[in-house]
Structure formats: structure tokens, C-alpha cells
Structure 1
Amino acid sequence: MKKKFLGTLAIAATLALGLSSCGSGSDEVATVDNGDKQDLKIVVFNGWDEGVAASQLWKSILTEKGYNVTLENADAAPVYSGLSAGDYDVVLDTWLPVTHKTYIEEYGEKMEDLGAWYDDAKLTIAVNEDAPIDSLEDLAANADKFGNKIIGIEPGAGLTEATSNEVIPGYGLEKMDYITSSTPAMLSELKTATTKGENIVLTLWRPHWAYDAFPVKDLKDPKGTLGAAEGIHSFSRLDFDKDYPKLDGWLKDFKMDSDTLSSLENAMFNGVDTDDYTAIVEKWIGENQDYVDSLTK
């Protein structure tokens, strides 16, 4: 009886140890070789091309390094609410100091600013690269060289409002015909003018793939009618640096200039009808390997 009792205890102890080991293992968090957590959720603003581009780029880079990256789309309010609650790990498309100011004022204490990776986000008035003027101050006197037209985008856009209320009266452009319709229509006009070698003046913004696809330049705005340039920041949830110490450093060092970003956006969005950018981004990475490698050194 004693031997049988001791044997039963031994079996029970073994089972308990096994169950304990299983329980301990289930609590372990999967990591990649550098010690970062493997699972990562990046939230992306609906319809913001630069954020889509940067997020897809980092997804490809990190997937290659063993991370399990999920991209989730959302509008601005749910993005910051979710990030502050820890539902997402990072967002790469916060415009400061103006565009997303109110969200940062509301949720900023529950998030971390990883810094600006792009510093030239702004509204612009652009012309063809070989146009005879370089400043908005010279446009009124040369309006006839542009067919007396300014090509705009959607009537309800903030850029349209700024052009109507600030740019046109600020530079005496009331005699020019300001044509608003849609962004695709504006880009179609730009393509036609480029093909014909004609001058064109249009409302545009940085970042945009048109700067890579077409020979255009921004007109100087000495009166500041379109406001100052903004920076595009990455924001993370709290304790992101503890769960992703390596990635936290990479994102804090992340920089992208206008030419590089426009090139990536051009590859992804110019005439492309797909939601799966994997192959496009991987091809672009292969063509820009030195830059991409520098992001994770």
C-alpha cells in the first residue's frame, strides 16, 4: 500500500509539473532574433497615401526580418483612441503641428512621439518645371502664359479653400479662372499639358507621386498664404520601446525625403488598381536597396 501510495504521488507530481510547464509556455511571447516581439499591429489612416506607402514599406522590411505585421485601416479618431488604449502598436502618419494637433492634445499623454520622418508636408501651387516663373508673385503678370487658368481639385478640399481665400486675393489672381473639379481631373490636365509641352498651374501638395511622375516645381509663396510645412511623425503606444526596443530605435531614426517618398508613391498609386502592394513594394525595395538597408542599420 505504501509503495502504491508513493507511486501515485510521484505520478501526480509529474503531471503537475507537466501542466505547469505547459502553462508557463503558453504565457511566453514570441520574439524575433533581435529580441523584439514578433507580432506587430500598424494602424493606417484611410486614404492617406503617404501613410499607406510608409506602412507597406515597413511591413515588407519587417516581414523579411521575421516579424508578423498586421496593417489595420481606420479613420483619425479611432486611430488615436485605439493607439492610446494599446489596441495598436504604432501609426506612421501624424501631421504636426497643425493637422492632427487636437488629437495629440487629447491623447498625447498616452502615446509616444517617435519623431518626424518627413519634414516637407505642405500645400502648394505648382507649375511645369520649365515654366517661365518661380514665384506666385510673378503669376498675375504672366497669367496669359498659363491660359489664364488655375487647375484645382475638389471644391470642398482644404487646399481649395486656402487657394480661394488666401492665395488668389493675396497675389491678385482674381482675373484668372480657378477651375475646381477633382484630383483625378487635375492630374489628367497635368498629364495632357506635360505631353503637349504646355505651361500649367495647379494646386498640389507634398508628398504626392505627381512630383515623381511629372516634371513639376512648386512656386515660391513669399507671403505664406498656404501656411508652413508640417512634419509627418510616427507615434507609438506606451511601452512600445520595451516590447520593441530594436524597432523603436529604427523608427526614431527613420527619415525619408520628398524624392524618395514620391518615387515609392508613384510606384504604388500611379495607374495601379490593387489593394495588395506586396509585389510592388518589394520591386521598389530592390531598386532602392541601399536606402532600405540603411533604415535598419
Structure 2
Amino acid sequence: MSLFGKYVKTAAVAATALGLAVGAAQAEKKDLTIAYVEWSDAVVATNIIKTVLEDKGYKVKIVPLSGAAMWQAVATGEADAMVAAWLPATHAAYNAKLKDKVVDLGPNVTGAKIGWAVPTYVDITTIEDIKKDPAKFGGKVIGIDPGAGLMKASEKAVKDYGLPVKLVEGSDATMVAALKDAYAKKEPIVVTTWTPHWMFAEWDLKYLADPKGVFGGEETVNTVVSTKLKEEAPEAYKILDNFSLSLDDEQKVMVENNKPGADPAATAKAWVAANKDKVDTWTK
């Protein structure tokens, strides 16, 4: 082969390689789906990361699901990510079953907690104290959505502490509504809850001590993504990997979301606009 022929062949190979590289770069997946549970903190975090990704050119769909369905969606690739995986205790069962089918990018919030709480005007301090007069609380503990990790732990608490009470199923919204009504009347009430949650900013509440450790210790809220995301959308993967919020960040936005007529998408956009320095650490 002539020198010229070698040159042409080499150039053609280089051009082909360059074309493949450009094609790969252009092929980054731009349509993303993020699953979440309709807990107040997850609504905040999910809308914030949605806003950030959309500002970077992604089209992001957010889908509310139960905890189990959220994990399953990411494990099967139906959803690309979630920023609402409570570990190590709350979502322990889901994690044990699906951890080999997802990628855990680690905490986006630290210092989280689950348990039972009462208004500070209620004169009990531990879960065991409920047994002294369960009728004072109507024989009930007000819960959230059935199947949630918090509800599973609450079922165990009722059993382990031998409490003659009924765990009432509902949602974050119905639990808060019951608390708001009881608080206005200064009536005793026990609710299932977690931190971060805006209700701790709204009312004077206290966690009940859990001497048996049913609810575990400090939790983290983790970002978990599909096994395909790093290859399909490396820039989105990087942003999700860098994403983090403080408890204070979340609770402030939760309070905004609780105002009449508030739109979680709008409050998230306002937070992102006001916290450019922090957001830049996720996207650079």
C-alpha cells in the first residue's frame, strides 16, 4: 500500500472513531423518570432534583408510588432514579430484596429519623407510657400509607410494646390533618412521623422515646438509580451522585409547600434560583 493509501485509511479510521464518539455523546438519554413516595420531604427533594436536571436540558417525569413500587420501578429500569430511599432501617426490606438490581449512590440527606410523636402538651415521654391510658388517645395511633416502612415498624412497635391500640392507615396528608385538628383542640394524639417534616416547624411536638429500639437510630435518605443510568446518561448520573440537601433546606421548603395554594414545582424552582452556589456543586 502506498503512503497516501495508508494515510487515507488511517484518516478514515480516525473519522469513523470520531463519528462514533460524537454519536455516543449525542446519544445520552434525555428523558428521565424519577419515582418518589408522597412524603413531604420526598416531594421537596424530588422536585428540586427535577428542576436542576431540567435546567440542564433533561425532560424529567416524576411519578408518585408506594415505597415498594418505587424500589421495584428503579430495579426494573421503569424509573431511572429515586431520591427517597430511607436506609438502613425504614426501607431495609426493599433494599435486602433489590440491592443487587440497583445502584445506591449514598445519602442525599443525613440525620433523618422515624418514630412516633405527640404534642408537647401531652404528658407522656415514651412509647411504653401509652399503655397507662390508651383510651386517652382513642385507642389509636394515627399512621400513614399502608406498606410504608414506617408503618411496618409501627406494627412491630404495637406488638413489641404490647399496646392495646389500633394503628390507623392513611397518608401523610390524613395524618397531618388529624394532628392539626387535635392540636387546635389541645387533645391527646399519637402520630407516626419522621424528620425532616414541616410539622415540627408548625407545631410543638416531641418524639416518644423508643427503649426497645423498634424504629432504629439515625437514618439517611439515599439516592438510588438504575443499573443502566451511568451508561445511558452519565451527566445525569453525576448530578444525582452529587445531589445533597440539609435537614434545614428541606424543612424550609416543606413549610413553603404547606402554605395555601403552594405548588411544589414552583417552590423547588424558587429554592434552586436562590441557592445557585449549592446547585453548582452538583452540576459542575
TM-score bracket relative to the smaller structure: 0.5 to 0.7
CA distance in 1, matches of 2:43, 2:121: 31
Query: Who is 2:58 aligned against?
Result: 68
Whether 1:45 aligns to 2:39 is no
Question: Which residue is equivalent to 1:256?
Answer: 245
| Stretches of structure 2 lacking an aligned partner (at least 5 in a row) | 1-15
Could you tell me how far 1:125 is from its partner in structure 2? 0.9
Give 1:64-103 correspondences, 5 Å limit. 64=55, 66-73=56-63, 75-76=69-70, 78-83=72-77, 88-98=79-89, 100=91
Are 1:280 and 2:276 counterparts?
no
Alpha-carbon separation, structure 1, partners of 2:202 and 2:255 = 6
**Is 1:153 aligned to 2:143, yes or no?**
yes
Q: Does 1:27 align with 2:23?
A: yes
Per the TM alignment, residue 126 of structure 1 is displaced from its structure 2 partner at its CA by: 0.4
Q: Does 1:112 align with 2:103?
A: yes
Deviation of 1:127 (Å): 1.4
Which structure has the greater CA radius of gyration? 1
State the shift of 1:220 in Å: 1.9
SS in 2 for 1:265: helix
Which deviations, in whole Å up to 9, do the C-alpha atoms of 1:178-223 show, x marking residues without a partner? 5736344432232133334555432223444323433322122121
Structure 1 unaligned spans of 5+: 1-19, 32-36
* Cα distance in 2 for residues equivalent to 1:181 and 1:106: 24
For residues 28 and 156 of structure 1, the distance between their equivalents in structure 2, rounded to whole angstroms, comes to: 44
Counterparts of 1:71 and 1:120, CA distance in 2: 28
* Aligned-pair Cα RMSD in Å: 4.2
Matches within 5 A, 1:142-181: 143=133, 147-149=136-138, 150-153=140-143, 156=146, 159=150, 162-163=153-154, 165-167=156-158, 170=161, 173-174=163-164, 178=166, 180=168
Inter-partner Cα distance in structure 2 for 1:92 and 1:161: 21
AA aligned opposite 1:42: T
Map of 1:174-213 to 2, 5 A cutoff? Answer: 174=164, 178=166, 180=168, 182-183=170-171, 184-197=173-186, 199-213=188-202
The AA in structure 2 aligned to 1:180 is V
Equivalent position to 1:232, from 221, 229, 237 = 221
How many residues in Structure 1 have an aligned counterpart in Structure 2?
260
Larger CA deviation: 107-116 vs 94-103: 94-103
Alignment of 1:8-19 (within 5 A): none
Identity %: 24
Report the CA distance between 1:44 and its aligned residue.
0.9
- Please report how far the alpha carbon of residue 291 of structure 1 lies from its aligned counterpart in structure 2 after TM superposition: 5.0
